[in-house]
Amino acid sequence: MNRPTYGWNILLFVLTFFTLTFQDDIFKIPYLNYATISEIFRIRTPYSFSLLGILFCHEMGHYFAARYYGIKTTLPYFLPVPFSPVGTMGAVIRIKDPIANKIQLFDIGIWGPAMSLVLSIPCIVIGLYNSQLVSLAERAAILQAHPGLMDIHFGDSILTYVLSQKILGPFDSSLFTVEYNPLAFAGWVGLLITALNLLPFGQLDGGHVVYSLAGEGYRKWIYYLFSAFLLLSLWNYSWILWGLLIYYFIRVEHPFIPDASYPIGKFRKLFGWSMLLSFLFIFPISPITVVSSSGAKNSLGEDLWNILLEVFSK
């Protein structure tokens, strides 16, 4: 019997730690002095370790649920991304055995996002108490003075908006933005990754859960829901890319899994629909907006929304 090897797991974990810590500065490391590198570590490692913990617990939620049913699976493979302000695309595990029924599918699918949701919320709550508000006018002035600079705004979900208004506000979000401290930013990214995983399509965690709850009948309406999801591209064009990834790789429909020999039960139904409902509160319609000296380019949806506001405010 071949013993499992963990070389790729360890290598990708280490690489993800570095991309989380240095982000798009990672290629500058050979040109940075020791003092600068030490300062980056001091400032950003709380974010790196916090987010790695959230991602690890997310995947171990899947792992232990699978092992409970005797299903062979790998340890997490972390996904480093140096060309982003976030530093990662999350992590994945690979299930090696077939899943026998929808109850097993439900339990394996739901415990990942449940773990990351439970850990992300305290991170962003505690972190917000150490975050601060920044004037958008001041940021715009800095960009005007340095045309080569780019600013990144991290969008709100309903939950992050309410929490930031409660902890740092009340404030006018058209005049101020929240500058997250590293722990709060780890919570924000954790919520984003949880929300993306809860999208109810294909092999995503939300796809596992909604298919387990709704059964084969969900195939009658899942494409209507996918079409509604594509409308989000009116607000943020990145959802076009996500739509293509889902349609061609993740798939809209879930592969067939047999029903279990016993009902899924009231607890699982309540747990599952509650997790799917939480998506509405943690999903940011425009997660990341890049702003230059000429300002942020509004999407079609934002322009239409602003026109409606002007009409009804008169």
Please write the tens of the pLDDT for every residue from 285-297. Answer: 989 887 776 666 6
Amino acid at 109: G
Q: Is residue 81 part of a domain?
A: yes
If one counts the domains in the chain, the total is: 1
| Helix or strand (DSSP H, E) at 77 | strand 77-80
Q: What pLDDT was estimated at residue 304?
A: 64
Q: Is residue 18 part of a domain?
A: yes
Helix 182-197, helix 34-68: angle, nearest 10? 40
Q: Is residue 32 part of a domain?
A: yes
Q: Is residue 288 part of a domain?
A: yes
Whether omega before 287 lies within 30 degrees of 0, making that bond cis, reads no
Domain containing residue 188: 6-313
The CA distance from 37 to 16, in Å, is: 17
Q: Is residue 1 part of a domain?
A: no
Q: Divide the 314 residues of the chain into consecutive groups of 10 and give the mean pLDDT of each group.
A: 79 95 84 89 94 97 97 96 88 95 98 98 97 90 78 91 95 91 96 97 97 95 96 87 94 96 95 97 90 64 63 59
Amino acid at 307: I
The CA distance from 268 to 274, in Å, is: 10
The CA distance from 15 to 81, in Å, is: 9
